[in-house]
Structure 1
Amino acid sequence: DALPISLTGNLADAEDAVHEAYARAWPRWAALTAGGDPTGWVRVVAQRIAVGTWRRARNRLLAHHRQGRTADSVAEMSPDHVALVAALRKLTAPQRQAVVLFHLCDMSGADVAAELGVSESTLRTRLTRARKELLHHLVEADAEFETRVERAS
């Protein structure tokens, strides 16, 4: 599921969130499956775990930054990946969820709207605004990158 990855910015943390969600689901699996498909429950729990992981990572990064250190994990990512994750993080949580579920998880508009508990019209509005914000943030990041390259030359 791409949602935890987009929230954590790290595949290993996202996998941990999904594994933890399934571990939490296992003791109550019979009750979850009796009510229908447990996918939604597992997705919400994984999302909450991923958000917690992201917040802890952000707080660690801010603490390192305050102490003059940089995060080693950022160096491992491609510039495009870093820019996309940074742009996604600048979106509001509802916008980020809509973009990730619709574009990265390839869910239909109706499924995303149902997952988020909003109307399809609201979802379309969120996606439109989120795309505009993403474009703005990615163009801004590209301009900053070009400026750094020019200064380094």
Structure 2
Amino acid sequence: MKAGTAGGDRGTGVRDEPSTPSETEWDEQPLCADDDTDEPDPAPSPLTPGQAFDALYAYCAPTLVQQTYLLTGRRQCARDAVEGAFQLAWQRWPEVAVDRDPAGWVRAAAHEYALSPWHRLRPRVLRRHHEPQPSDPVGRALLSALLELPPPYRRTLLLYDGVGLDLPDTAAETEASTPATAGRLLHARATVAARLPEPVAPGDLSRLLASLPAGIHPGPVEPAALRARADQHARRWTHAVIAFTTLLLTTTALTLHTAPDHYESPVPRGTPIRGIPPKPAPGPLSASQQALRAKLRSEAAAGPERLHPEAR
């Protein structure tokens, strides 16, 4: 291009070579770089994947911890769910970065993590800790009513009245049809309203859900530490898959080496078997064996003497 030629002829005519991608980590490289543009881009420099992840964490983590607390009722479980969701997001960052709603992607992962029965069975979660309850009776009744709802109903009520999604988006995120989502929402609202000490309008329910998890904050883990944990977890899984694949290939090769390579029909009954030496005949009896045989032959073969031996 002419613009490129003119740019190359300026000054000494020598361009400074940009640093190659191999000199820096992939999460420190810009998300996009366009060196062939004819006009300079006045926009700021693009974020690196690490910077974009940190910004997403700072924007979503406080709200997600409050949401997952409403789903679980435990502060530590809520923090673990948010950290697990962001670790999964970093492992799948090429997919999350181009998603039309990265915050929604992480929110769905955090909700599924919080409601998964497998994560609630961990020893860290099973430990009994004193969970401080809300100070007002309305908040305590609301939290108790939420935790008694089935998980799909609880999540539907949180997404619609707590997050503010519309009915189709709530149905899509909970993987249910729109009529089923509407039925879950009505049932959850009626159940919660019956448990509250005072009547609450549907519009006030959003305000109560927003003010209920007051004082819940993310853990002290930094986004960089989450990214490091996610990379370490991915490396462990990669090593485990490689070890399992190696073991499977070794077992398969050993089986192929030791298995018979042709069919051997079974020997029919009554067919003499060749190659087996005949059973040896018994040798002559010793003196003690001959004396025992003579004694047995001299005694009666039947009668009470055989049944009642003499006592000596």
The question of a shared fold, defined as TM-score above 0.5 by the shorter chain, is answered with yes
Q: Is the 8 A contact 2:157 2:185 kept in 1?
A: yes
Shift of 1:105: 0.9
Q: Give the structure 1 partner of residue 113 of structure 2.
A: 49
Higher percent of residues as helix: 1
Out of 181, 186, 196, the residue aligned to residue 138 of structure 1 is 196
SS in 2 for 1:77: coil
Identity %: 33
Q: Is the 8 A contact 2:68 2:110 kept in 1?
A: yes
CA 1:88/1:55 → structure 2, altered by over 3 Å: closer, same or farther? Answer: farther
Out of 140, 143, 156, the residue aligned to residue 98 of structure 1 is 156
SS in 1 for 2:190: helix
Out of 90, 94, 107, the residue aligned to residue 30 of structure 1 is 94
Task: Write out aligned runs for 1:63-82 (5 A).
Answer: 72-74=130-132, 76-78=133-135, 79-82=137-140
Asked if 1:89 corresponds to 2:147, the answer is yes
TM-score where L is the length of structure 1: 0.67
Alpha-carbon distance between aligned partners in 2 of 1:87 and 1:58, rounded to the nearest angstrom? 21
Unaligned runs of 5+ in 2: 1-63, 198-312
Shift of 1:11: 4.9
Q: 1:27-86 CA distances to partner (integer Å, 9 max, x unpaired)?
A: 22013334543444422321233235666688544xxxxxxxxx5323x53233322111
CA 1:111/1:121 → structure 2, altered by over 3 Å: closer, same or farther? Answer: same
Task: Point out which structure has higher relative CO (alpha carbons under 8 A, 6+ apart).
Answer: 1
The amino acid of 1:77's aligned partner reads P
Q: Is the 8 A contact 2:81 2:113 kept in 1?
A: yes
Out of 164, 176, 181, the residue aligned to residue 118 of structure 1 is 176
Alpha-carbon distance between aligned partners in 2 of 1:116 and 1:40, rounded to the nearest angstrom? 12
Alpha-carbon distance between aligned partners in 2 of 1:131 and 1:58, rounded to the nearest angstrom? 29
Q: Is the 8 A contact 1:17 1:46 kept in 2?
A: yes
Q: Is the 8 A contact 2:72 2:147 kept in 1?
A: no
Alpha-carbon distance between aligned partners in 1 of 2:159 and 2:75, rounded to the nearest angstrom? 16
Unaligned runs of 5+ in 1: 62-70, 140-153
Q: From the CA coordinates, give the structure whose radius of gyration is larger.
A: 2
Q: Give the structure 1 partner of residue 245 of structure 2.
A: none
Q: Is the 8 A contact 1:4 1:47 kept in 2?
A: yes
Q: 1:67-124 CA distances to partner (integer Å, 9 max, x unpaired)?
A: xxxx5323x5323332211100111111111100111111111211111122222221
TM-score where L is the length of structure 2: 0.36
Q: Is the 8 A contact 1:88 1:96 kept in 2?
A: yes
CA 1:128/1:55 → structure 2, altered by over 3 Å: closer, same or farther? Answer: farther
Q: Is the 8 A contact 1:89 1:96 kept in 2?
A: yes
Alpha-carbon distance between aligned partners in 2 of 1:35 and 1:72, rounded to the nearest angstrom? 39
